[in-house]
Amino acid sequence: MSAVTTTSADDVRIPLRGHLRHTGALIRRNLLWIRQDPESMFDALLMPIVFTLLFVYVFGGSIGQALGGGQERYVQYVIPGMLAMMSMTLSQGVGTGFSQDFNSGVMDRFRSLPIGRGSVLFAKIAVELGRMLFATAILMVVAVLVGFHITSWPGLLATVGLSALFASSIMWVFLTLGVILKSAQSVQGVGFLVLFPLQFGSSIFAPTSSMPGWLQAFTDYNPLSTLADAARGLMIGGPVAHDLWVTVGWSVAITAVMAPVAIHKFRTKS
């Protein structure tokens, strides 16, 4: 207990400039690790390609007809939704990586150093956001190749920013899981149970109007639905304000609750 108290007190005395310097050094460390292990980028590279081709060419015709068009209509519908999907799916990686660092002893080394404890977590989030931006670029290249028309470049940039904001909030949840669960496999298992119903019980892949009433009630409060609908409004036109502010509200609320929990759990983990 005394060691934890001393560590926390040392952490408090570190100035903001020190926190920023520590965060920058840890970001560099994480990027060097990716350079040594390029396979860790395979999910960010392959996921946008596989999911885009799968949903466009398997479901595009039937769902596109329900939308009043065909495959071309579905491409315009699903691509903004997939930006929302990736913001949450790739966020899981920060939790599994954090858990692996604990099991390998890296985190014990970090916690023995006179660095800001929050810097370790912020560095993880920054690098994971970089992976998400890389995956977004791949997604948009594939989207254009399958027929997606970017009608508003400012809207696209705003969508990427909104997705990054929401993703950063979800990463605090997975960082907490990475601390409290004993293995990366456990983080993946719990993450799957959370991600699967949120993604498919939303408006990402199909309109919610044909869903049962109880499921529509769930999708109305699902932040992935509001993020996907806001992305469509920004990128291809349509109502934006309500979904935009609801998504921002979810992001701020999740961060406000989970960031202190993640930092506290990290500081006090024995």
The mean pLDDT of 147-153, rounded to a whole number, is: 89
The mean pLDDT of 213-219, rounded to a whole number, is: 87
Q: How far is CA 215 from CA 67, 89, 203, in A?
A: 19, 21, 11
Are the C-beta atoms of residues 84 and 227 closer than 8 Å to each other? yes
Cα–Cα nearest to 43, from 79, 81, 80, 96:
96
pLDDT 10s digits, 70-100: 888 999 999 999 988 888 888 888 888 888 8
Measured between alpha carbons, how far is 110 from 26 in angstroms, rounded to an integer? 10
In this prediction, residue 4 carries a pLDDT of 41
Domain tally, the chain: 1
The sign of the CA dihedral 39, 88, 118, 180 is negative
Which one-letter DSSP state was computed for residue 70? Answer: -
Amino acid at 116: G
Upper half-sphere CA count for residue 148 (Cβ side, 13 Å): 27
Measured between alpha carbons, how far is 164 from 168 in angstroms, rounded to an integer? 6
pTM: 0.86
Measured between alpha carbons, how far is 257 from 57 in angstroms, rounded to an integer? 40
pLDDT 10s digits, 225-249: 999 999 999 998 888 999 999 999 9
pLDDT for 5 beyond 50: no
For a pLDDT cut of 70, what percent of the chain falls above it?
93
Which residues span the domain enclosing 102?
2-268
Measured between alpha carbons, how far is 33 from 26 in angstroms, rounded to an integer? 10
Are the C-beta atoms of residues 236 and 242 closer than 8 Å to each other? no
